[in-house]
Amino acid sequence: MLIDLTGRTALVTGSTQGIGLAIAAGLARAGARVGVNGRTAERVAAASDALRAELDGGDLVDVAADVTSAEGAARAVELCGEVDILVNNLGIFGAEPALEIGDEEWRRYFDVNVLSAVRLIRSCLPGMIGRGFGRVLNIASDSAVVIPIEMVHYGVSKTALLAVSRGFAKEAAGTGVTVNAVIAGPTHTGGVEDFVYSLVDRALPWDEAQREFMRAHRPQSLLQRLIEPEEIANLVVYLSSAQASATTGGAVRVDGGYVDSILP
């Protein structure tokens, strides 16, 4: 399948590392003009330079803005211009006993994982509808469906993101704009390595630590390994394309078979 995103502008939030960086690379490789987003100009510039080196070029826009604030979200959209593909990838996670999560931490998780996406959708969706094309992808998680006991607040915020995706897909009905959630499974990123080592013996080599983590904490995975960020990016690039025109309002899984159900 030949996916050509030439002429499209994408904004990928939280794209200086991990899944977001892989998504930015995939979209740029398919020809899109991609806004690389992070909170500081230094980190954004470093990520953009790394991508240009990897891609031997690429049409990239540095988007240094904290999209968890209204001002930062507006700044991000201003820097990108007309956004055709919005990938709400930014998210935070961390292990904490359920009964010890206070109100402020709950609010922080909703501000970052849910409201930042809602705010950008509100900003970008009208233009997409007016132009008759648009793609909104909200990066959710298997934790939205299988709430992890060690991070209930994260799981609940990602559940909310599934509902956000479905609701805005209805708002865009019949317009040529699609809105979907992507349910990503346990993925190999630097942040996840830290998380894995918070739950298993830090003395273990990474390959052994990963296997122990999957055995003890993610035994439902049919892959029996962590997913690589590029595997998440491949699905996002497809869903961003014209070929995915009939997929909207969905919670599309790239979870390695982690969620043990026929439907999410």
Positive or negative CA dihedral for 13, 119, 93, 144? negative
What distance in Å separates the CA atoms of residue 131 and residue 110, rounded to the nearest whole number?
A: 30
Contacts of the segment 103-106: beta carbons below 8 A, 24+ positions apart: 105/153, 106/153
Q: Side-chain half-sphere of 77: how many Cα atoms within 13 Å?
A: 25
What distance in Å separates the CA atoms of residue 102 and residue 112, rounded to the nearest whole number?
A: 16
> Catalytic pick from 109, 154, 238, 258?
154
Instruction: Identify whether 154 is a catalytic site residue.
Output: yes
What distance in Å separates the CA atoms of residue 110 and residue 112, rounded to the nearest whole number?
A: 6
Spatial strand order of the sheet with 134-141 comes to: 60-64, 33-38, 9-12, 85-88, 134-141, 177-184, 251-254
Positive or negative CA dihedral for 115, 113, 108, 38? negative
Classified as helix, coil or strand, 187 is: strand
87 forms beta bridges with: 12, 137
**Residue 236, φ and ψ in degrees, nearest 5:** -65, -40
**Residue 69, φ and ψ in degrees, nearest 5:** -115, 155
Enzyme catalytic residues = 154
